[in-house]
C-alpha cells in the first residue's frame, strides 16, 4: 500500500480511537495496539516528512517550543458569569429573567474548575486555541492544546467554527504529578486548576504533553442572531462533531433548577475532576438577544457556586517538617475533623508568611477546607474564640533537628536548613533512597529507616549496604526478629544490581525525577559518563533543560557526593543502565504465543519474524500475553486467551502486521 494512503488510514484510525477513549471513555482496542498504530504513523512520517501534516495525531506528543505567546483577539468577547450562592439568588435570577422571557426553560451543567479556552476550526481542522486572557485578547496556546487527546484535531464534519470550553487536570493526574514533583525536589502545585493553568502556560509543549490534561466543550461561539439551535441541541451537535461535552439536566422550572444544583453539589466528590459549582443556562438560544448582557456577563446564565465545605476545629500544635532538600514546612496539628468524606488531622501552613498573614496561633479555633477539594488548608481563624493569653506565632530560626540557623530561599518565602549533614534531611534522603520508585528495598519502611538512623546504624546511603555487618546486634534488638533481619539483608543485597536509573533517582538530585533519571541512564549508559558530562552535553538531551543540567553537574562535582558514589561502587553497586531499551520493531514490547497449525510458515519461522520485529514469543498463555496467533485446530490456548480477553490474530493478520 502506498505510504500516503496508509498515513491517512492510520490518522483516521488513531483519531477514532482517541475519541473512543478520551471522549466516550469506551476504548475498543488495547493500549498496546493503539501504541502500535501510533508508532507506525510516526515511522511513516519520519520516512516521508513531506506527508506530515499539522493535524496529524503525532503532533500530540509535543515538540513545538515557542519563543513567546502570540496574542489572539477573540471574535466574540469571552465573558464571565454572575454568581448565585444560594437558592434565593437563583429565584431572583429566575424572576428577573422571566420578566423579559416568560417562556424560557433551563439547562443545568457542572461548572468545571479549570481555565477557559476557545478553539477555532477551519474546514474541520484545529487551527488555533486561545486562553481567555482579559476576555478580549487572549494568548495562543495551540501547541499545548494539541497535546490534549480529548480535543479533536479533525472534526467529523468539515466546518468553520469556534467552540469554547474548560481545560482541566483530573484529580488523579494532579496527585500523580505532585508526587513526582515532590520526589524530584520541585515545588508542588496547590490545586488541579493551578496545575492545569501552569501546564497550558508553557512555551515548551512537551511539558503539557507529559501532564494529563482534559477538556470539556460547553458552547459554540455564534452571534445571537445566527443561533438556530437550543443549547441542548448545540451540545448534541458538538458531540457529533467529536467533542467531549458535559452531562446536563434539563429543567422547566426554577425549583427543578435548584434541585439539580443541589443534586450536583451533593455529588461533587464523586467526579474525577474538580467542580466548583453548577452553571444554569437558558436553553432557548433564540431568546439570548432579548435577555441581553451586562458589561461582564450574559443575563441568560448564572453560576451557582458551591459552599466550600468547611469544618471548625482547633490547632493543637504547629510542627515543622524538614524535607530532603532542607526546606522547612510548618504544619498545623489539628484536632481530627471529618470533611468531605475523610478525616483531617494535619494542614500545611506553607511558610511563615502564610501563618502571619492569617495570624494563625497555636490553640486557635480555625475553619478548615480542602483546597481544590483535595488538600486541607486553614481558611480563617475564629478570632472571637481566641484565648486572650495566646501568643502570636513566631517562626523558628534554627533547624528543629540540627539547630543550624535557617536561611531564606531566593523567593524569600521559604526557610531552608542548609546543613547537608542535618539528621532530618539525611533521614528523609535515606527514606527516599530505599523507596519503591527508587532502589525499592522491600521491608525497609520509614519506621525502620528512622529507628536504624536514630540508633546510629544508618548515617549515609552506603551504610545501608553495611547493615549486614551489624546483623547480630540488629537481631538481638527487640522488635526485629532473626528472620525479618535476614530477609531485609537479602533484599538490600538484591538491589545492588538495580539498573542505573533507580540509583540515580534515589540519590535525590534536585529536579531529577524518575523520568529524567531514566533518560539520563539510557543516554549515558554508565554513571561515570554522567559524572564526566558538562552542562552542554546534558542540555543536548531532549528532556533535559538548563535547570536540570546545572543541578546534575553541581551534584556530580561535589566532593562529598563523589566520595559517596565511589564508596557505593566499591561496595559493588551496579552503575550501568541494564534496563530495557525500547526497540525499534513494530512488535517491541509485545509478548506473543503461537498455537495451532500455520498455513504458509512453520511456527519457528513465525517466531523468527516476530522476534525480528522486536516481539517476544513465549510458550504459554498468561495475563502477560499480548497476542495469541492462532492457526488451524487451535485448542486450549485459544480458549484460555479468549477467557483472558487477549487479542487473537489469525495467520493472515500476522502477515499483514509483519509487512
Ligand atoms: S458557560 C459567558 N459553562 O466558568 C460565559 N462556563 O465564571 C459562559 N466554566 O469562564 C461560560 N464550566 O471558564 C460555562 N459548564 C460551563 C462551565 C463554565 C466552567 C467556567 C468558564 C467561565 C467561568 C465563568
- For the chain, domain boundaries: 3-61, 83-305, 308-419, 423-497, 500-571, 591-658
- Whether the CB of 81 sits within 6 Å of ligand 1: yes
What pLDDT is attached to residue 479? 75
pLDDT band at 269 (very low <50, low <70, confident <90, very high): confident
Q: For 298-329, write each residue's pLDDT tens digit.
A: 999 999 998 767 888 999 999 999 988 899 99
pLDDT digits (tens, 9 = 90+) for 539-571: 988 778 899 999 999 999 999 999 999 999 999
What tens digit of pLDDT does each residue of 153-212 get? 999 999 999 999 999 999 989 988 988 888 888 878 878 898 999 999 998 888 898 889
Same fold, 3-61 and 83-305: no
The pLDDT of residue 455: 87
- Distance between Cα 217 and ligand 1 center (Å): 10
Mean pLDDT is lowest, of 250-264, 392-406, 446-460, for 446-460
State pLDDT tens for residues 432-443.
999 999 999 999
Q: What is the DSSP string of 457-485?
A: S-SSHHHHHHGGGGHHHHHHSTT--HHHH
**Nine-digit cell at 202?**
508553557
Q: Is 171 a catalytic residue?
A: no
Please report which confidence band the pLDDT of residue 582 belongs to, taking 50, 70 and 90 as the band edges: low
Average pLDDT over residues 463-468: 95
Q: Is 539 exposed, middle or buried (0-12, 13-18, 19+ CB in 10 A)?
A: middle
- Is residue 288 within 6 Å of ligand 1 at its C-beta? no
Residue 109 CB less than 6 A away from ligand 1: yes
> 216 - beta bridge partners?
166
Cα(402)–Cα(318) distance, rounded to whole angstroms?
A: 18
In this structure, the residue with its CA closest to atom 17 of ligand 1 is 111
Mean pLDDT, range 235-240, rounded to an integer: 96
Atom of ligand 1 nearest to the CA of 219: 1
* Ligand 1 close to Cβ of residue 116 (< 6 A): yes
For a pocket test of ligand 1, which of 110, 111, 193 has the largest count of ligand atoms closer than 8 A to its C-beta? Answer: 111
Tell me if 80 CB under 6 Å of ligand 1. yes
Instruction: State the cell numbers at 516.
Output: 529524567
Average pLDDT over residues 21-30: 84
pLDDT of residue 375: 80
Answer whether residue 334 shows pLDDT above 90: yes
Distance between Cα 80 and ligand 1 center (Å): 7
pLDDT range class, residue 533, cuts 50, 70, 90: very high
Best CATH choice for the domain 308-419 from the list 2.160.10.10, 3.65.10.10, 3.60.150.10, 2.40.50.140: 2.40.50.140
Pocket test for ligand 1, best of 112, 115, 192, 294 (most atoms within 8 A of CB): 112
Q: At CA 129, angle to CA 128 and CA 132, rounded to 5? A: 135
Q: Are strands 375-381 and 627-630 parallel, antiparallel or unpaired?
A: unpaired
* Residue with CA nearest ligand 1 atom 6: 111
Q: In the chain, pLDDT over 70 holds for what percent of residues?
A: 98
> Is there an atom of ligand 1 within 6 Å of 113 CB?
no
CA of 292 to the centre of ligand 1 (A): 17
Pocket test for ligand 1, best of 116, 235, 260, 280 (most atoms within 8 A of CB): 116
Name the phi and psi angles at 197, rounded to 5.
-65, -40
Q: Would you say residue 373 has pLDDT above 70?
A: no
State the average pLDDT for the chain: 90
Res 634 pLDDT > 90: no
Determine which one of 12, 103, 111, 259 is catalytic.
Answer: 111
Q: Which atom of ligand 1 is nearest to the CA of 132?
A: 10
CATH architecture under which domain 423-497 falls: Orthogonal Bundle (1.10)
Residue 68 has pLDDT above 90, yes or no: no
Task: Give mean pLDDT, residues 467-481.
Answer: 86
CA 116 – CA 135 distance, rounded (Å): 10
Query: Measuring from atom 9 of ligand 1, which residue has the nearest CA?
Result: 111
What is the distance between the alpha carbons of residues 278 and 271, in angstroms, rounded to a whole number? 13
Task: Tell me which of 21 and 466 has the higher pLDDT.
Answer: 466
372 pLDDT tier (thresholds 50, 70, 90): low
Cell of 69: 505567546
Helix (H) or strand (E) holding 2: none
CATH code: domain 3-61 is 1.10.287.610
- Whole-number Å distance, alpha carbon 111 to ligand 1 midpoint, is 6
- The CATH code belonging to domain 83-305 is 3.30.470.30
C-alpha cell at 409: 530561599
What pLDDT shows up at residue 536? Answer: 93
- Measured N-to-C along each axis, helices 446-454 and 423-434 cross at an angle, to the nearest 10 degrees, of 140
- Which of 126-140, 340-354, 405-419 reaches the highest mean pLDDT? 126-140
Give the CATH architecture of domain 500-571: Orthogonal Bundle (1.10)
Q: Candidates 273, 303, 305, 306: which one to mutate for ligand 1, based on the most atoms within 8 Å of Cβ?
A: 303
- Average pLDDT estimate for 26-45: 87
What would be the CATH architecture of the domain defined by 591-658? 3-Layer(aba) Sandwich (3.40)
Ligand 1 close to Cβ of residue 83 (< 6 A):
no
Q: Is 381 near ligand 1, meaning CB less than 6 Å away? A: no
Looking at the predicted structure, is the pLDDT value of residue 247 above 70? yes
Pairwise CA distance, residues 427 & 323, whole Å: 9
pLDDT classification of 126: cutoffs 50, 70, 90: very high
Element (H, E) at 34: helix 31-47
Between 325-334, 548-557, 583-592, the lowest mean confidence (pLDDT) is in 583-592
Amino acid at each position: 500500500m502506498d505510504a500516503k494512503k496508509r498515513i491517512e488510514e492510520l490518522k483516521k484510525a488513531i483519531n477514532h480511537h482517541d475519541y473512543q477513549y478520551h471522549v466516550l471513555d469506551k476504548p475498543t482496542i488495547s493500549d498496546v495496539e493503539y501504541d502500535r498504530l501510533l508508532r507506525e504513523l510516526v515511522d511513516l512520517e519520519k520516512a516521508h516528512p513531506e506527508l506530515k501534516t499539522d493535524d496529524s495525531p503525532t503532533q500530540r506528543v509535543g515538540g513545538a517550543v515557542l519563543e513567546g505567546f502570540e496574542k489572539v483577539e477573540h471574535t466574540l468577547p469571552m465573558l464571565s458569569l454572575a454568581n448565585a450562592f444560594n437558592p434565593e439568588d437563583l429565584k431572583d435570577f429566575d424572576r428577573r429573567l422571566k420578566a423579559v422571557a416568560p417562556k424560557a426553560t433551563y439547562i443545568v451543567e457542572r461548572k468545571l474548575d479549570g481555565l477557559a479556552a476557545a478553539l477555532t476550526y477551519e474546514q474541520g481542522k484545529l487551527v488555533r486555541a486561545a486562553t481567555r486572557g482579559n476576555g478580549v485578547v487572549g494568548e495562543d496556546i495551540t501547541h499545548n492544546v494539541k497535546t490534549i487527546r480529548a480535543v479533536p484535531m479533525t472534526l467529523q464534519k468539515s466546518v468553520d467554527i469556534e467552540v469554547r470550553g474548560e481545560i482541566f487536570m483530573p484529580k488523579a493526574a494532579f496527585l500523580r504529578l505532585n508526587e513526582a514533583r515532590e520526589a524530584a525536589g520541585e515545588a508542588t502545585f496547590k490545586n488541579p486548576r493551578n496545575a492545569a493553568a501552569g501546564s497550558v502556560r508553557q512555551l515548551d509543549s512537551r511539558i503539557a504533553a507529559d501532564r494529563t490534561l482534559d477538556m470539556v466543550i460547553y458552547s459554540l461561539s455564534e452571534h445571537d442572531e445566527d443561533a438556530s439551535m437550543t443549547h441542548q441541541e448545540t451540545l448534541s451537535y458538538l458531540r457529533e462533531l467529536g467533542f467531549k461535552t458535559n452531562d446536563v439536566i434539563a429543567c422547566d422550572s426554577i425549583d427543578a433548577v435548584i434541585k439539580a444544583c443541589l443534586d450536583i453539589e451533593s455529588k461533587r466528590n464523586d467526579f474525577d475532576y474538580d467542580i466548583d459549582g453548577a452553571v444554569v443556562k437558558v436553553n432557548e438560544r433564540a431568546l439570548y438577544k432579548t435577555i441581553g448582557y451586562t458589561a461582564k456577563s450574559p443575563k441568560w446564565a448564572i453560576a451557582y457556586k458551591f459552599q466550600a465545605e468547611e469544618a471548625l476545629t482547633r490547632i493543637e500544635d504547629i510542627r515543622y517538617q524538614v524535607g530532603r532538600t532542607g526546606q522547612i514546612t510548618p504544619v498545623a496539628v489539628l484536632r481530627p475533623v471529618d470533611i468531605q468524606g475523610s478525616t483531617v488531622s494535619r494542614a500545611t501552613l506553607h511558610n511563615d508568611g502564610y501563618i502571619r498573614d492569617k495570624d494563625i496561633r497555636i490553640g486557635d479555633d480555625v475553619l478548615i477546607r480542602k483546597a481544590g477539594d483535595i488538600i486541607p488548608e486553614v481558611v480563617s481563624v475564629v478570632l472571637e474564640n481566641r484565648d486572650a493569653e495566646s501568643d502570636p506565632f513566631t517562626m523558628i530560626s534554627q533547624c528543629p533537628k540540627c539547630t543550624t540557623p535557617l536561611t531564606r530561599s531566593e523567593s524569600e518565602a521559604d526557610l531552608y536548613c542548609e546543613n547537608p549533614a542535618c539528621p532530618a534531611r539525611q533521614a528523609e534522603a535515606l527514606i527516599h533512597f530505599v523507596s519503591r520508585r527508587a532502589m525499592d528495598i522491600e521491608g525497609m519502611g520509614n519506621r525502620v529507616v528512622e529507628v536504624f538512623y536514630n540508633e546510629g546504624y544508618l548515617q549515609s546511603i552506603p551504610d545501608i549496604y553495611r547493615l549486614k555487618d551489624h546483623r547480630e546486634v540488629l537481631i538481638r534488638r527487640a522488635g526485629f526478629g532473626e528472620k525479618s533481619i535476614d530477609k531485609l539483608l537479602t533484599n538490600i543485597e538484591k538491589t545492588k544490581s538495580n539498573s542505573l536509573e533507580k540509583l540515580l533517582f534515589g540519590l535525590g538530585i534536585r529536579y531529577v525525577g524518575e523520568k529524567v533519571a531514566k533518560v539520563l541512564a539510557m543516554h549515558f549508559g554508565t554513571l561515570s559518563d554522567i559524572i564526566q558530562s558538562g552542562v552542554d552535553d546534558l542540555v543536548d538531551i531532549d528532556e533535559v533543560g538548563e535547570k536540570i543540567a546545572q543541578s546534575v553537574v553541581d551534584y556530580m562535582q561535589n566532593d562529598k557526593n563523589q566520595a559517596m558514589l565511589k564508596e557505593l561502587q566499591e561496595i559493588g553497586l551496579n552503575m550501568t543502565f541494564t534496563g530495557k531499551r525500547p526497540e525499534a520493531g513494530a512488535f517491541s514490547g509485545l509478548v506473543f504465543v503461537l498455537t495451532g497449525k500455520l498455513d504458509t510458515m512453520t511456527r519457528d519461522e513465525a517466531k523468527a519474524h516476530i522476534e525480528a520485529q522486536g516481539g517476544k514469543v513465549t510458550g504459554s498463555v498468561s495475563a502477560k500475553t499480548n497476542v495469541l496467533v492462532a492457526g488451524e485446530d487451535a485448542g486450549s490456548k485459544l480458549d484460555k486467551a479468549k477467557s483472558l480477553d487477549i487479542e487473537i490474530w489469525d495467520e493472515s493478520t500476522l502477515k499483514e502486521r509483519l509487512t
